[in-house]
Structure 1
C-alpha cells in the first residue's frame, strides 16, 4: 500500500518480528548504531523478536522509501481500534525508529494496522515526529559511566551528591557485621534470577500493585530474556550476597554497551544496610571497569535515581490517532488529567494519572487473537 505525504512516497507494511528480513534487520541495527538517542534495548529488533515469540499479535510497521527500509514502529494489538507498545507494561521506552533526516508521518501506520489509534506509555522524543505526540513529559534517569569510574565519582562530587560516600559507609558496615559478603557482576545464576522474580511478585502483592507476571506471556518474555543473545541484545544479572544467601539482585536488559535496569529487589532482612543502593553502585563500578557506557534507571521520581543519574531522557505517555471518536476520547482523558493536576487538590491531583497508568497496564497485559 502506498501513501503520499507532499513530495515523499512511502510504502508501509506490517511484518511479524520473526519475519523481518536481513535487509530490514540490517537497516534497523544501523539506525541504533548511528543515532545515540535510539540506543535502548526496548528499541531494538532483539526486543521485538523476544516479545514476538510469546505474543502472536506482535507487529512491526516498516516504512520504506525507494524500496529501502527507513523506519520501524513495533506494536501489539489491544482492541479492534487500538494498538499499544510492543511488550505493553514491561516496555519502558517506545519510538518511531528512523534517522532524523527521514520525514515520516506515524499516522500512516494506522490504516496498515487497521486501527484508529496507537497509544504509548513511554514515547521518547528520539525522532522529531514523535515529540508532538507526547502528552505528558516524564524523565528517564540515566547514569553515564563511559569515561570510567573515577570520572563518575568526580561527577557526583561536583554535583553536590554525597550518595556514593554514604553507600561506601553502609557497605563497610555490612562487611563488618555479615559474613561472606560478595558482589557478582554479569552472572547467570538461574536460582538467583528466580529468587528476584519471587521478590518482585511478593512486593506487588504487599503493595497492592498489579502482578504483571500473572500473565503467562509476560512471564515467558521475562524468562526467555535471561537466556537470549541476539546481536548484542540480552539480559544481565547482578547480585549481592551475605551470610550465604542472596541479599539484593538487579536484572537489566542489554543492548551492546547499554544497560537498562528492569527488575531490582532485596531481602527485607538486610534493609538497614541499604542493599539496593550498594548493589547499584557496585553495578555501576563493574560496568565502568568492563567498558559499558550507560545504565538507564528508567522513569519515576525516586530520590535514589536522581542521586545517581548524570543525565535525563525525555519520555512520556501519548498517542497517535486519526480524526475519530477513539482519538477524541483519549484526548479528553489527557485534558481532564491536565486540569486536575493544575488544581490545588493535594494527593487528589495524581489520581487521574494513576488511573490512566493502571488502565494502560491492564490493557497492555491483555492478549488479542488478531494479527
Structure 2
C-alpha cells in the first residue's frame, strides 16, 4: 500500500515526506520543482536540469504506467526535494522510466542531504533500482555497481565554438558530413531543417524508422511496447515554459529523411530517439541532423545536448566531453530487496561484461545483426 503521509528519522532530523500520484501534485509544488531545476546550474548541479527529472516527464509517464509516485520532502514546511519513482505492489521501486530514461535521481534544493534507507522506508519501498543515476546523488551513489560515460555536446558558447572543436578533434568527420549535405542537396533537392516540428505524421514516420532499425540490428523493438509509444505521444503534446517534447526533422526536397524526438528542458536537450529513412543512408542524414540540432540548440542558449549512455562511433565524433551516470540499487534489509537483487544482478553483470569488452561485444553485435537480417528476410547463405 502507498503511505500517503510518512515521517522517518534521518541523522538527527525528521524526514517529512508526502507521497502522491502525479496528478495529485499541487501547482505550488510543481512550480517549486521547476524552480529547483532552473537554478540547479547556479548551485553546481547542472545535471538536475535534465528533462527526464522534470515534473512534466513524471506526469506523462503517470498516464502511461501504473505505480508512478512522487515523494515530496519538506523542511520547515517548504519543498526541499522531489523523488519520482515507480513502485510495484510488493514494494519494488524502480527509477522513473527505468530502461528508457537517461537521467534519474532526486531533485533537491542546495544543501539538502538524505539517508537512502530512510527515504525508501518513507516511500514504502524495499529497494530502488536505477540505471542512469545522475552525478551528485549523494546517498544513492553508495549503491552504484558501475559507472558509465554519457557523451554530451556543449553548445552554450555558440555553434562556431562547437565547429571549432570538431575541426580540432574530428576533422575528417566534419568535412565528410558537410560534403554529404551538399551532395544531398544536389542529388535529391533542397535541404531544410525544422527544429520544432509539430506534424504528428512525421512523429509516426520516425517511430516506424526506429522500429525497423531495432529489427534490422536484432535489438528489441521498443515501439512494440504500447506504453513507450503512448509516452512519446504524450510528451510530443507536452509544452510548458520549461519543458517541450521536441521533434526535429531534416527534409530533402520536402521529404523527411531524418528525425529525432526527445525531451528538452530550459538548459538540456536529451538525444532520445534519432532515426533516418534507410533510402537516404549514403548521405548520413542522421549525422547531418545532429549538427543542425546543435546549431539550433546553441542559438537558443541550451547548455548541452546529452547524447545518452553508451559508446558509439558517431557519439565519439560529435561529443565535446562526457558526464557519468551510474547503475545499481539501494536496499533496505528486506526479503523483497534481496530477492530482487538476486534476480537482476546476474543479468546486468553479463550485459555489461559483453558491452565493455570489444572481443565479446563485436561478435555479439554481428550475431544480433544476423538475427535482424533473418527477421527482415534479407539473410543470404
SS in 2 for 1:253: strand
1:18 is aligned, of 14, 23, 42, to: 23
* Stretches of structure 1 lacking an aligned partner (at least 5 in a row): 352-371
Equivalent runs, 1:90-129 vs 2, <5 Å: 90-129=100-139
Alignment partners' CA distance in 1, 2:150 and 2:7: 36
Alignment partners' CA distance in 1, 2:170 and 2:362: 31
User: Structure 1 residues 70, 206: closer, same or farther in 2, change over 3 A?
Assistant: same
Q: Please, what TM-score do these two structures have when normalized by structure 2?
A: 0.84
Equivalent runs, 1:15-164 vs 2, <5 Å: 15-35=20-40, 36-78=46-88, 80-159=90-169, 161-164=171-174
Alignment partners' CA distance in 2, 1:134 and 1:204: 29
**Alignment: residue pair count:** 351
Equivalent runs, 1:161-172 vs 2, <5 Å: 161-172=171-182
Residue of structure 2 equivalent to 1:307: 317
* Stretches of structure 2 lacking an aligned partner (at least 5 in a row): 1-5, 41-45, 365-381
1:291 counterpart = 2:304:
no
Segment drifting more, 34-43 vs 62-71: 62-71
Alignment partners' CA distance in 1, 2:231 and 2:140: 27
Segment drifting more, 177-186 vs 271-280: 177-186
SS in 1 for 2:163: helix
User: Structure 1 residues 229, 337: closer, same or farther in 2, change over 3 A?
Assistant: closer
User: Structure 1 residues 313, 78: closer, same or farther in 2, change over 3 A?
Assistant: farther
SS in 1 for 2:306: strand
Would you say the 8 A contact 1:63–1:70 is kept in 2?
yes
User: Structure 1 residues 336, 266: closer, same or farther in 2, change over 3 A?
Assistant: closer
Q: CA RMSD for the aligned pairs?
A: 2.6
Would you say the 8 A contact 1:38–1:126 is kept in 2?
no
Q: What is the CA distance between 1:336 and its match in structure 2?
A: 8.6
1:254 counterpart = 2:264:
yes
Alignment partners' CA distance in 1, 2:177 and 2:362: 34
Deviations 1:294-344 (A, max 9, x none): 211111101111211112121121111112344445555548966994999
Alignment partners' CA distance in 1, 2:357 and 2:28: 54
Segment drifting more, 211-220 vs 256-265: 211-220
